[in-house]
Structure 1
Amino acid sequence: MASDPGTVAHVCDQMQGAGQITWRKMFGEYAVYCDGKVVALICGNQTFLKATPTTQALLPDAGLAPPYPGAKPHLLLDDVLEDTALLTRAVAALAAELPMPKPKKPRASKAKPKG
């Protein structure tokens, strides 16, 4: 079941204090970015935060579950979504510890050489 864009907008609004929050539709679901780093996934209208020692310490009551079959377990956020201060603190801490994504290499031209 694809996530509702209204749910995505609400979750991202709750995280606004953590940094620059953006989202992108991927494979019918959504990836949530904080300062250019993927911090969460929204799948089936459920929010999953990357599980690290820091986020697990900040959110000890959040259960672990995979956002999609075959994925690594993430923290499943339920009640935390309405605690804006706690959610913001967890997302900001996660973004601070994650590395910046590697820059993408430019695509090679598919034009054939003349001759």
Structure 2
Amino acid sequence: MASSKEYLEFVLDLLRDVPAITHKKMMGEYLLYSEGVLFGGIYDDRLLLKDVPAARSAFSQEEVPYEGAKPMVLVDSEDAGRIAEVIAAMLPQLPAPKKKR
């Protein structure tokens, strides 16, 4: 099941305090970036974060975004400030974006 545009708009509103948010549509789902760093995505109308210590300490439920994928951390909160804090803490724990040739 693909994620809805309405859920994307809901999540983007939740992420209003996260700097430089961008998204890319990929096979009916959405990848989410902050300052060019991939930190999570929207899969089947669920906001999932990369499984790094900052995300794991804030949210404990693990979900698989699609068959064969690595588990990610489910965001089970609608507190925009808390989500922004978690993502800010995650960014240093994630790989820097690859430079384009």
TM-score (norm 2): 0.90
**1:33 corresponds to which residue?**
33
**1:63 corresponds to which residue?**
61
**1:48 corresponds to which residue?**
48
Residue of 98, 101, 104 corresponding to 2:97 = 101
Residue of 70, 74, 77 corresponding to 2:75 = 77
The structure whose Rg is larger is 1
Unaligned segments of structure 1, at least 5 residues: 106-115
User: Where does structure 1 differ by over 2 angstroms across 4 or more consecutive aligned residues?
Assistant: none
In 1, the alpha carbon distance for the partners of 2:79 and 2:74 equals 14
RMSD: 1.3
In 2, the alpha carbon distance for the partners of 1:92 and 1:103 equals 21
In 1, the alpha carbon distance for the partners of 2:32 and 2:5 equals 12
Q: Give the share of equivalent positions with the same residue, in percent.
A: 35
**2:3 corresponds to which residue?**
3
Unaligned segments of structure 2, at least 5 residues: none
Secondary structure in 2 aligned to 1:16?
coil
TM-score (norm 1): 0.80
Give the C-alpha shift of residue 86 in structure 1: 1.0
Give the C-alpha shift of residue 65 in structure 1: 1.2
Equivalent pairs, count: 101
Give the C-alpha shift of residue 42 in structure 1: 0.6
In 2, the alpha carbon distance for the partners of 1:6 and 1:96 equals 30
